[in-house]
Amino acid sequence: MTTAIDLRPITGSFGADVHGIDLSLPLDGSTTAAIEAAFAEHMVLAFRGQELTVDQLEAFALQFGTFGDTPFITPIDGHPNVLAVIREAEEAGALFGGSWHSDWSFQSAPPSATILYGHEVPQAGGDTVFTNQYLAYETLSNGMKRMLDGVNAIHSAQRSYGPQGVFGRPDPSAAMHIQGGEEALTTQVHPIVRTHAVTGRKLLFVNDVYTIGIQDMNEPESKALLGYLFEHSKQVSFLCRVRWEPGTVTMWDNRCVQHHAINDYPGQRREMYRVTLAGEVPV
């Protein structure tokens, strides 16, 4: 028997707030199963009213999988799988996560999920917006679906973490230590149309930050098609916006949503903690 949990939908298509669960404590099997079922259905879960240590955040995450690999960014001391996502009030450089993307899609097996804990958040602003990539695929024309079937996209970290990338050089004024390098120039191919390993549903798997081309297409062809897919994938009707409160833990399915951190809180500090869960090779 599966435990019922208090789910409150954020939009009519996906995303839900979750109340009444204390994530600092181990979950029983029925509660874990209920969360997994809600995750498959809603894709973005915002657990409200949490107060977690880093150890407790890790323990919660490990009830749903193993940690994914996190390159280029120095984790917190003693916790190699946890990132402190911090932006000080006076920072003015590029915002980490501030463009549409799916976490680490340049990896051979990108993360299945990302879990982010809001320890200190702006009084207003700093929301995270998500876009539903099931809907992005399902609303394509039948002709476009046929054209994309079996076509691979090229993913790379070069725009973010390559030597000339946004975070390619250390920024001494930034709270986060990000170190890019030549290894960010590596490329990886994934199908443009991906089948979700749990739900079996098809989805669009490209994103503005890490998708740099289409296999077997020249640059003008690739740029035109990707430009269309990027814009199509983030229509207003596909979106879900999570407003952060202190103690919110948001868990999203990195396989079927993209996300974008909103940079609209100048002069305010933000401190969050992030882990990813290992995923599978996209097919």
Averaged over successive runs of 10 residues, the pLDDT of the chain (283 residues) comes to: 82 97 96 98 98 98 97 95 94 87 98 98 96 98 98 97 87 85 95 98 98 98 98 98 97 98 94 98 98
Output the CATH code of domain 6-277.
Answer: 3.60.130.10
Domains in the chain: boundaries: 6-277
> Taking a C-beta distance cutoff of 8 angstroms, is the pair 156, 185 a contact?
yes
pLDDT of residue 98: 86
Residue 14 per-residue DSSP state? S
Name the token pair of 149. Answer: 């079937």
Q: Quote the CA–CA distance of 241 and 260 in Å, as a whole number.
A: 10
User: Residue 2's pLDDT is what?
Assistant: 56
Q: Which positions ≥6 away from 263 have C-beta within 8 Å?
A: 95, 98, 126
- Predicted pLDDT of residue 1: 46
The bridge status of strand 249-253 relative to strand 44-47 is: antiparallel
pTM score of the predicted model: 0.96
